[in-house]
Structure 1
Amino acid sequence: MKILVVGSGAREDAICQSLLKNDKNVVFCAPGNDGMKLNGIKTISINEDEFDHLANFALTNNVDYTIVGPEEPLVNGIVDFFKSRKLLIFGPTKEGAQVEGSKSFTKKLMADADIPTASYQEFTDLQAATTYLNEEAAFPIVIKADGLAAGKGVYISPERDDALSKVTDLLQGHKFNTRKVVIEDFLEGEEFSLMAFVDHKRFYPMPIAQDYKKIFEDDKGPNTGGMGAVCPVQNISSEIEQTAIETVIKPFVNELYNQGIKYTGIVYAGLILTQDGIKVIEFNARFGDPETEVVLPRLQSDLSEMINQMLHHKKINEITWSTTGLNLGVFAVSHGYPGKQVVGDLGSTDEFRSCPLTVNYASVRKENHRLISNGGRLYLVQTQAEDLDSAQVQVYRELGKMNQLHIYYRRDIGKNSI
């Protein structure tokens, strides 16, 4: 098949590499990045928001179907646009993508489906939010920008002054173009991610993963888009995993369908195991990043054929996943991330090609046979090993060989998977 993947990050690199396991497939990535070319991926210079150009490329190149990686084009209606051109595309419509685009929409959906989540309040008015924080809120508390914020619009405020500052930034300063905030109770427990392929009422869960969002070791510092991930999560039992499928994914998919949203694509549930049981932190409308980079390498079935069947609304009879060992991935990021990043030389393309482990490229560009940083999260090094210790030794050994001058990475990824 000919398949177009929309996006430019390590997640899209991982999707492309999974599709290329079938050597009969031709895979394009738009816009992709210069690092992906080292993995043999054909990149196309069309940005993810150029719907007309993307659709024209799919038409003129006889692309069988398109897969959308990032959330922004989904929320902006790329699936609706492609469907209007009679093109097959894997992802939810603009209506379905509200799952990620609007936290208040998703909170209501969870309430309708009786899915456990944190108690919350919504505010569009700064004075009303201030009054709530001054008079009713219990700390620590969680503040979320209602729209898209590239994984950075969630804050845990330990005390009132910090919360007031964050709410002011969002509702008065309109950080991330925010017009509404959700303020919710802080939940304590073990976090994990559960993704599922969805085809209307049918869904197919993936193995659970765990990502590490904080910039510093021991889960300290501000949130990032994700500093690394591990799959499976050995300290989350199979019983808990099955409970999450039955009490979160299944009712959520059913509620979407019952509300007239014929959802085809990926549902991502960010979950936390509290003393009161499983609760939902967030839902997303696409593959997680960096979870995808450690989950898809465990897929033994043909991803391209699976998605083709879902797009034609045919039942998938069996999906096979690796049941041995674990997959670990660690992101190298620019110094200064998630704030102002330092741009610098990352090393020669030959150095990266010689890495014996899988490298998924994100914000990098090529210049004179060298890779240069081009954003925050740069590349992820990933391996499959028998156990966590072996995986960490392999990944950190290879990261240690990289040019350290302009990169930072956490050295404790996988620490909870024991």
Structure 2
Amino acid sequence: MNVLLIGSGGREHSLAWKLAQSPRLTKLYAAPGNPGIAEHAEIVALDPADHEAVIRFCLSNTVDLVVIGPEVPLVAGLVDDLEAARIPAFGPRKGAAQLEGSKAYTKELCATYGIPTARHRSFVEPAGAKHYIRSVGAPIVVKADGLAAGKGVVVAMTLAEAEAAVDMMFEGGLGEAGEQIVVEEFMTGEEVSYFCLVDGDHVLPFGSAQDHKRVFDGDEGPNTGGMGAYSPAPIFTAELEKRVLDEIVRPTVKAMQALGNPFRGVLYAGLMLTPQGPKLVEYNTRFGDPECQVLMRRFRGDLLELLLATARGALNGHRAEFSPEPAMIVVMATRGYPGDYVKGSEIKGLEAAGRGEGVEIFHAGTRADGERLLASGGRVLGVTACGRDLQDARDKAYTAVDAVEWSDGFCRRDIGWRVLGSSRPDAH
């Protein structure tokens, strides 16, 4: 089979790495790709936003499946256009991608179908939002309705912070994403990421993870796209998983069918394990990053077979098997991230760093300059390791991190602290 992978980050590198292991794969293409993905796929010069160009490429190269990594092409309707051209694609159509593309849509669905989530209200003008915030009090959460590249959520600890977030969003600070906002209660508990493959009818559980959003040790500093993660989440017991499937995921899948937007793809539920039980924080309609990397490290089966079955509506009877060994990823980022940072610093030592047992290094924001590898983004490398237990995985990951030669890079030194405590491996 010929496969086209859309995307250029660490998530897509891990997908390419796993897809390349499939005995069913004939040829893997990737657009726009990165130097790590290029080790497994032929990089093609395609703009994923140009749907006609993507379709022409697929038809010219007999592509049997398009795997879409990031959320923007899904919300833009790339799957709809591919399917109209009779090209199978892994990912939801535009209508179903609203579960990620519009927080107000998801909140309304939860309210209609009794899916547990935070109390909330949606607003299209600032006065009503501020009045509601004052009536509820702080802490409180203010979210942009649309896609905001991970910058659309403000956890406000004071009324002033909440009102400033309202003004920022309605004054265009997040572009179109902030034309509508959702204000919701501040929930307490531990967060868990939970993944399921969904073919419109059938739900196939696909693992759990916990990530670290804050940029600095001790969960301090601004939020990021994710500075590290581990899988599975030890706190996410079989009992909790059953509740999430019965109370959140399956009711959502049935609701989407009833609304005429059947969901096909990966449904990523961001959960809060509250004292009252698990509640939905938000849905994503693609694999998380960096959670995808640890899931791929643990997944034992043929990824291409499962993604194709999902796209064809034929998941029934399939299973997803994972290694019992946990996996951890430590994200190496450019100094200054998530604020301003300088691109173009050289990275060395990846070959030596990747020699460790159970270690795999995924590229996120890199580019090749002849024989040199340069940093081209904020989050740049995902140093991933499996181990006999989480401590062993962490030791292996940080040993590999310390072998990377990159003067402009940094990482958190406490990934996994929820399970392993606050002790941190020191840099060598």
Q: Specify the alignment match of 1:374 in structure 2.
A: 376
Partner SS, residue 132 of structure 1: helix
The alpha carbon displacement at 1:409 in A equals 0.9
Amino acid aligned to 2:100: E
> What is the alpha-carbon distance in structure 2 between the residues aligned to residue 40 and residue 15 of structure 1?
10
The alpha carbon displacement at 1:103 in A equals 0.3
Q: Specify the alignment match of 1:352 in structure 2.
A: 350
Misfit runs of 4+, over 6 Å: none
> What is the alpha-carbon distance in structure 2 between the residues aligned to residue 24 and residue 275 of structure 1?
46
Partner SS, residue 270 of structure 1: strand
> What is the alpha-carbon distance in structure 2 between the residues aligned to residue 132 and residue 238 of structure 1?
38
Contact 2:199/2:312 (<8 A) preserved: no
The alpha carbon displacement at 1:23 in A equals 4.5
Contact 2:88/2:312 (<8 A) preserved: no
* Change in CA separation of 1:170 and 1:389 when aligned onto 2, cut-off 3 Å: same
Amino acid aligned to 2:171: Q
Q: Specify the alignment match of 1:207 in structure 2.
A: 207
Contact 1:344/1:406 (<8 A) preserved: no
- After superposition, the C-alpha distances for 1:201-258 in whole angstroms (9 at most, x for unaligned) are 1110111111111111122222111111110011222211221122111111111111
Q: Specify the alignment match of 1:384 in structure 2.
A: 386
> What is the alpha-carbon distance in structure 2 between the residues aligned to residue 147 and residue 113 of structure 1?
22
The alpha carbon displacement at 1:85 in A equals 1.3
Q: Specify the alignment match of 1:241 in structure 2.
A: 241
Say whether 1:107 aligns with 2:111: no
Amino acid aligned to 1:353: E
> What is the alpha-carbon distance in structure 2 between the residues aligned to residue 404 and residue 163 of structure 1?
38
> What is the alpha-carbon distance in structure 2 between the residues aligned to residue 75 and residue 406 of structure 1?
34
The alpha carbon displacement at 1:374 in A equals 1.2
2:367 to 360, 365, 368: 365
Contact 1:230/1:417 (<8 A) preserved: no
> What is the alpha-carbon distance in structure 2 between the residues aligned to residue 138 and residue 43 of structure 1?
51
For structure 1, which segment, 274-283 or 317-326, has the greater mean C-alpha deviation from structure 2 after superposition?
317-326
Amino acid aligned to 1:395: A
Q: Specify the alignment match of 1:198 in structure 2.
A: 198
The alpha carbon displacement at 1:24 in A equals 4.8
For structure 1, which segment, 299-308 or 89-98, has the greater mean C-alpha deviation from structure 2 after superposition?
299-308
> What is the alpha-carbon distance in structure 2 between the residues aligned to residue 213 and residue 176 of structure 1?
23
> What is the alpha-carbon distance in structure 2 between the residues aligned to residue 243 and residue 136 of structure 1?
32
Amino acid aligned to 2:136: A
Amino acid aligned to 1:342: V
Amino acid aligned to 1:240: L
Contact 2:273/2:279 (<8 A) preserved: yes
The alpha carbon displacement at 1:319 in A equals 1.7
Partner SS, residue 300 of structure 2: coil
> What is the alpha-carbon distance in structure 1 between the residues aligned to residue 210 and residue 315 of structure 2?
28
Partner SS, residue 250 of structure 1: helix
> What is the alpha-carbon distance in structure 1 between the residues aligned to residue 80 and residue 142 of structure 2?
31
Aligned pairs for 1:331-350 within 5 A: 331-348=331-348
* Change in CA separation of 1:342 and 1:79 when aligned onto 2, cut-off 3 Å: same
Q: Specify the alignment match of 2:326 in structure 1.
A: 326
Aligned pairs for 1:92-241 within 5 A: 92-133=92-133, 135-177=134-176, 178-241=178-241
- After superposition, the C-alpha distances for 1:73-103 in whole angstroms (9 at most, x for unaligned) are 1101101111121111111111111000100
Contact 1:112/1:255 (<8 A) preserved: no
Give the TM-score taking structure 2 as reference length. 0.93
Q: Which runs of 5+ in 1 are unaligned?
A: none
Contact 1:15/1:296 (<8 A) preserved: yes
> What is the alpha-carbon distance in structure 1 between the residues aligned to residue 24 and residue 278 of structure 2?
42
> What is the alpha-carbon distance in structure 2 between the residues aligned to residue 200 and residue 361 of structure 1?
32
Q: Specify the alignment match of 2:8 in structure 1.
A: 8
Partner SS, residue 289 of structure 1: coil
Give the TM-score taking structure 1 as reference length. 0.95
Q: Specify the alignment match of 2:409 in structure 1.
A: 407
* Change in CA separation of 1:176 and 1:334 when aligned onto 2, cut-off 3 Å: farther
Contact 1:6/1:67 (<8 A) preserved: yes
- After superposition, the C-alpha distances for 1:285-331 in whole angstroms (9 at most, x for unaligned) are 11111111011222222111122222222244232423422010111
Amino acid aligned to 2:380: L
Contact 1:215/1:410 (<8 A) preserved: yes
Say whether 1:254 aligns with 2:229: no
CA RMSD of aligned residues (A): 1.5
> What is the alpha-carbon distance in structure 2 between the residues aligned to residue 283 and residue 417 of structure 1?
25
Say whether 1:61 aligns with 2:64: no
> What is the alpha-carbon distance in structure 2 between the residues aligned to residue 246 and residue 93 of structure 1?
24
Partner SS, residue 121 of structure 1: strand
Contact 2:11/2:290 (<8 A) preserved: yes
- After superposition, the C-alpha distances for 1:160-182 in whole angstroms (9 at most, x for unaligned) are 11112111111113424320111
> What is the alpha-carbon distance in structure 2 between the residues aligned to residue 173 and residue 75 of structure 1?
20
> What is the alpha-carbon distance in structure 2 between the residues aligned to residue 294 and residue 315 of structure 1?
22
Partner SS, residue 226 of structure 1: coil
Amino acid aligned to 2:32: P
The alpha carbon displacement at 1:47 in A equals 2.2
Q: Which runs of 5+ in 2 are unaligned?
A: 421-428
For structure 1, which segment, 8-17 or 26-35, has the greater mean C-alpha deviation from structure 2 after superposition?
26-35
> What is the alpha-carbon distance in structure 1 between the residues aligned to residue 125 and residue 292 of structure 2?
37
* Change in CA separation of 1:316 and 1:301 when aligned onto 2, cut-off 3 Å: farther
> What is the alpha-carbon distance in structure 2 between the residues aligned to residue 386 and residue 341 of structure 1?
37
